[in-house]
């Protein structure tokens, strides 16, 4: 394998531990058949999803993120006080402010961390990983906690069969540190195209359409998606981003031991794997069990891949994502 210099100035940075949490409650396709006019056959054949997890009404995004964070810190063997930075990637924060990151900080007892949320829809995890990477690489912080947590069930229109069957709730977390002798994160590509923001959005509740009885009756407080348009852009953009991230790392698809693509649709995953030439065996998939968890999809996927032995020491891992904004990203890590 070619030798790759540390990415830009600063120290190399590794993901030293991961954690994830899925709510206990399972919503199957059979359950959805009783809620909207759909069928298990349609959902499986069009998306690959068989079931998804749904948070309990009293469980908020910070509760999911907290549990994932505890598991990541336990795996790292690190006390909460050692964390100096917490970023939470989410489009379903507990509230506008304070940030979900501050709520998790308090519950964890990570009193030495500065905290903020960041929003890049489904791409949020890789955006947050890259921000944390730069803080650790520069030596500004030694230990960063990146959390991606979503309660998608709180923003889905449960009467719209074209979207409500797609999403699930969950959270993942990663601890980043510099470790001597490890190359860690090798490259990242991040991108956005705001001209296509109207194709995937939640229009109500912000300063453009503050909540009123009218915005509620107009249905502005739930997720809207032009699925077919998003599909087309997702395949092309993720394939290009993955290729560019590998090029920047001085690697090729043949070097990739595990690709974790965003889990929006099995057909999108298969199309990207086919375009890139990644064999099925090297492509991690959990959409059948989890649905699309937005930013949490990659975070949960990475943790599951590590814990099930799909990723081993020194493996090259490629993560690639696409989401609302539009936003996208790809990251290459030597594990
Ligand atoms: N059950 C049964 N029929 C359905 C359902 C359903 N749940 N949903 C839609 N249909 C029907 C439609 O009404 C339509 O019927 P018609 O032909 O009579 O009009 C037909 O199925 C086909 O609908 P399409 O929307 O064209 O179906 P498509 O094959 O495109 O699949 C899907 C829809 C699954 C949404 C797909 O387009 C997709 O996965 N898009 C990309 C999603 C994505 O990548 N999102 C990005 C991340 S999300 C984020 O950032 C938060």
Structural domains present in the chain: 14-181 (3.40.47.10), 185-334 (3.40.47.10)
> Given this model, what pLDDT does residue 10 score?
82
Residue 71: is its pLDDT beyond 90?
yes
Residue 2: is its pLDDT beyond 50?
no
> Given this model, what pLDDT does residue 3 score?
41
Looking at the chain, how many residues does it have?
A: 335
Q: Ligand 1 mean position to 228 CA, how many Å?
A: 6
Q: Ligand 1 mean position to 117 CA, how many Å?
A: 30
The predicted-structure confidence for 183-198, as pLDDT tens digits, reads as follows: 999 999 999 999 999 9
Active site residue 122: yes
Return d(Cα 256, Cα 263) in angstroms, integer. 18
Residue 1: is its pLDDT beyond 70?
no
Q: Is the CB of 99 under 6 A from ligand 1?
A: no
Residue 234: C-alpha distances to residues 226, 244, 322 (Å)? 12, 15, 6
Q: Ligand 1 mean position to 41 CA, how many Å?
A: 13
Given the residues 29, 102, 115, 122, the one annotated as active site: 122
Q: Name which of 130, 145, 147, 118 is nearest 325 in CA terms.
A: 118
> Given this model, what pLDDT does residue 9 score?
61
Residue 136: is its pLDDT beyond 70?
yes
> Given this model, what pLDDT does residue 8 score?
56
Residue 220: is its pLDDT beyond 50?
yes
The predicted-structure confidence for 13-24, as pLDDT tens digits, reads as follows: 999 999 999 999
Q: Ligand 1 mean position to 38 CA, how many Å?
A: 11
Return d(Cα 131, Cα 151) in angstroms, integer. 23
Q: What is the mean pLDDT of the chain?
A: 96
Q: How confident is the model at residue 323 (pLDDT cuts 50, 70, 90)?
A: very high
Return d(Cα 85, Cα 109) in angstroms, integer. 13
The predicted-structure confidence for 151-195, as pLDDT tens digits, reads as follows: 999 999 999 999 999 999 999 999 999 999 999 999 999 999 999
> Given this model, what pLDDT does residue 249 score?
98
Given the residues 102, 115, 258, 262, the one annotated as active site: 262
pTM reported for the whole predicted model: 0.95
Q: What is the mean pLDDT of residues 77-95?
A: 98
Q: Is the CB of 116 under 6 A from ligand 1?
A: no
Convert 249-262 to b/e letters by CB count within 10 Å (16 or more is b): bebebebbbbbbbb
Report the atom number in ligand 1 closest to the C-alpha of 161: 7
Given the residues 29, 265, 286, 292, the one annotated as active site: 292
Encoding tokens for residue 237? 């953009």
Residue with CA closest to ligand 1 atom 31: 46
Instruction: Check if the beta carbon of residue 72 is closer than 8 Å to that of residue 121.
Output: no
Q: Is the CB of 240 under 6 A from ligand 1?
A: no
Residue 208: is its pLDDT beyond 60?
yes
Q: Is the CB of 90 under 6 A from ligand 1?
A: no
Active site residue 292: yes
* Residue whose tokens read 């959270």: 171
Cα of 21 vs its chain's centroid, Å: 13
Q: Is the CB of 47 under 6 A from ligand 1?
A: yes
Q: Is the CB of 327 under 6 A from ligand 1?
A: no
Q: Ligand 1 mean position to 215 CA, how many Å?
A: 25
Q: What is the mean pLDDT of residues 129-141?
A: 97
């Amino acid at each position: 394998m070619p030798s790759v210099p540390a990415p830009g100035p600063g120290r190399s940075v590794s993901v030293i531990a991961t954690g994830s949490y899925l709510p206990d409650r399972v919503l199957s396709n059979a359950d959805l058949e009783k809620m909207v006019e759909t069928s298990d056959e349609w959902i499986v054949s069009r998306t690959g999803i068989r079931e998804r997890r749904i948070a309990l009404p009293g469980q908020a995004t910070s509760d999911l993120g907290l549990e994932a964070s505890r598991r990541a810190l336990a795996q790292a063997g690190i006390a909460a006080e050692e964390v100096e930075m917490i970023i939470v990637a989410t489009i379903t924060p507990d509230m506008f402010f304070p940030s979900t990151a501050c709520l998790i900080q308090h519950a964890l007892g990570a009193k030495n961390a500065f905290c903020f949320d960041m929003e890049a829809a489904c791409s949020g995890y890789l955006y947050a990983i890259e921000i944390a990477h730069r803080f650790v690489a520069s030596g500004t912080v030694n230990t960063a906690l990146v959390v991606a947590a979503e309660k998608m069930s709180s923003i889905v229109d449960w009467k719209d069969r074209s979207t409500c069957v797609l999403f699930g709730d969950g959270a993942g977390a990663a601890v980043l540190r510099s470790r001597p002798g490890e190359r860690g994160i090798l490259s990242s590509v991040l991108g956005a195209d705001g001209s296509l923001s109207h194709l995937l959005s939640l229009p109500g509740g912000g300063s453009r359409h503050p909540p009123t009885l009218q915005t509620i009756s107009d249905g502005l407080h739930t997720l809207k998606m032009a699925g077919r348009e998003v599909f087309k852009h997702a395949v092309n953009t993720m394939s290009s981003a993955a290729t560019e991230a590998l090029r920047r790392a001085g690697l090729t698809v043949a070097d990739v031991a595990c690709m974790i693509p965003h889990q929006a649709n099995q057909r999108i995953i298969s199309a990207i794997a086919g375009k890139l030439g990644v064999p099925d065996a090297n492509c991690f998939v959990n959409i059948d069990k989890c649905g699309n968890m937005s930013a949490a999809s990659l975070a949960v996927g990475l943790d599951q891949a590590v814990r099930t032995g799909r990723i081993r020491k020194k493996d090259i891992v490629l993560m690639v994502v696409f989401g609302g904004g539009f936003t996208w990203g790809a990251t290459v890590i030597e594990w």
